[in-house]
Amino acid sequence: MTTIDVNAVKSYLLKLQDSICAALEQEEKKQKFREDTWDRPEGGGGRSRMLADGEVFEQAGVNFSHVHGKNLPPSASAHRPELAGRSFQALGVSLVIHPLNPYVPTSHCNVRFFSAEKPGADPVWWFGGGFDLTPYYGFEEDAAHWHRTAKAACDAFGPDNYARFKKWCDEYFFIKHRNEPRGIGGLFFDDFSEKSFDHAFGFMRSVGDHFVPAYLPIVQKRKGAPHGERERDFQLYRRGRYVEFNLVYDRGTLFGLQSGGRTESILMSLPPLVKWRYDWTPPPGSPEAELYEIFLKPRDWLATENK
Amino acid sequence: MTTIDVNAVKSYLLKLQDSICAALEQEEKKQKFREDTWDRPEGGGGRSRMLADGEVFEQAGVNFSHVHGKNLPPSASAHRPELAGRSFQALGVSLVIHPLNPYVPTSHCNVRFFSAEKPGADPVWWFGGGFDLTPYYGFEEDAAHWHRTAKAACDAFGPDNYARFKKWCDEYFFIKHRNEPRGIGGLFFDDFSEKSFDHAFGFMRSVGDHFVPAYLPIVQKRKGAPHGERERDFQLYRRGRYVEFNLVYDRGTLFGLQSGGRTESILMSLPPLVKWRYDWTPPPGSPEAELYEIFLKPRDWLATENK
Strand locations in chain B (E): 34-39, 44-52, 57-69, 87-99, 106-117, 124-134, 174-175, 180-181, 185-192, 273-275
d(CA A162, CA A300): 11
d(CA B61, CA B270): 10
Distance of CA B153 to the CA centre of its chain: 15
User: Which of B174, B248, B269, B274 has the most A C-beta neighbours within 10 Å, making it the best mutation to test the interface with A?
Assistant: B274
pLDDT for the residue numbered A254: 84
Rounded to the nearest 5°, which phi and psi values hold at B286? -80, 165
Q: Which of A257, A266, A276 sits opposite B272 (nearest CB)?
A: A276
Q: Which residues does chain B have within 8 Å of residue A38's beta carbon, measured at their own beta carbons? A: none
Q: Which of A243, A277, A278 sits opposite B243 (nearest CB)?
A: A243
pLDDT for the residue numbered A304: 74
pLDDT for the residue numbered A82: 85
Q: Active-site residue A108, yes or no?
A: yes
Secondary structure letter of residue B223 according to DSSP: T
CB interface of A with B, residues 228-287, below 8 Å: 236, 240, 243-244, 247-248, 257, 263-264, 266-268, 270-279
User: Which of B35, B239, B279, B281 has the most A C-beta neighbours within 10 Å, making it the best mutation to test the interface with A?
Assistant: B279
Q: How close does chain A come to B1, measured CA to CA in Å? A: 39
Q: Which of A61, A266, A279 sits opposite B36 (nearest CB)?
A: A279
Query: What contacts A120, CB < 8 A, 6 or more positions away?
Result: none
Tell me whether residues B59 and A279 touch, CB distance under 8 A. Answer: no
Q: How close does chain B come to A271, measured CA to CA in Å? A: 6
User: Which of A62, A276, A280, A281 has the most B C-beta neighbours within 10 Å, making it the best mutation to test the interface with B?
Assistant: A276
Q: Which residues does chain A have within 8 Å of residue B248's beta carbon, measured at their own beta carbons? A: 247-248, 257
Tens digits of per-residue pLDDT, B290-301?
999 999 998 999
Least confident of A60-64, B7-11, B75-79, B89-93: B75-79
Secondary structure element (H or E) that encloses residue B144, with its range: helix B140-154
Mean pLDDT within B177-182: 96
Q: Taking 80 as the threshold, does the pLDDT of residue B99 lie above it?
A: yes
- Across chain A, which has 307 residues, the per-10-residue mean pLDDT values are 86 98 97 95 92 98 94 76 88 98 98 93 94 98 98 96 98 96 97 95 98 98 97 98 96 81 92 97 97 95 76
CB distance B39 to B45 below 8 Å: yes
Tell me whether residues A279 and B50 touch, CB distance under 8 A. Answer: yes
Q: How close does chain A come to B264, measured CA to CA in Å? A: 6
Residues of B marked active site are found at 108
CB interface of A with B, residues 108-127, below 8 Å: none
Q: Give the DSSP letter string of B35-96.
A: EEEEE-TTSEEEEEEEEES-SSEEEEEEEEEEEEESS--HHHHTT-GGGTT-EEEEEEEEEE
Secondary structure element (H or E) that encloses residue A60, with its range: strand A57-69
Q: Is B78 on the interface with A (CB under 8 A)?
A: no
Tens digits of per-residue pLDDT, B111-129?
999 999 999 889 999 999 9
Q: Angle formed by the axes of helices A140-154 and A161-172, to 10°?
A: 120
Q: Which residues does chain A have within 8 Å of residue B267's beta carbon, measured at their own beta carbons? A: 177, 244, 276
Tell me whether residues B59 and A278 touch, CB distance under 8 A. Answer: yes
pLDDT for the residue numbered A162: 98
Secondary structure element (H or E) that encloses residue A48, with its range: strand A44-52
Residue of chain B whose Cα is closest to the Cα of A277: B272
Tens digits of per-residue pLDDT, B203-227?
999 999 999 999 999 999 999 999 9
- Please choose, from the candidates A290, A272, A302, the residue with its C-alpha nearest in 3D space to the C-alpha of residue A137: A290
Rounded to the nearest 5°, which phi and psi values hold at B63? -110, 140
Secondary structure element (H or E) that encloses residue B19, with its range: helix B6-27
Strands A185-192 and B185-192: unpaired
Distance of CA B286 to the CA centre of its chain: 29
Q: Is A23 on the interface with B (CB under 8 A)?
A: no
Tens digits of per-residue pLDDT, B51-69?
999 999 999 999 999 999 8
Q: Which of A236, A268, A278 sits opposite B268 (nearest CB)?
A: A278
- Please choose, from the candidates A111, A120, A43, the residue with its C-alpha nearest in 3D space to the C-alpha of residue A86: A120
pLDDT for the residue numbered A306: 58
Mean pLDDT within B129-143: 98
Task: Indicate the average pLDDT of chain B.
Answer: 94
Q: Is B196 on the interface with A (CB under 8 A)?
A: no
More reliable by pLDDT, B197 or A251:
B197
Reported ipTM:
0.93
Q: Which residues does chain B have within 8 Å of residue A243's beta carbon, measured at their own beta carbons? A: 243, 247, 274
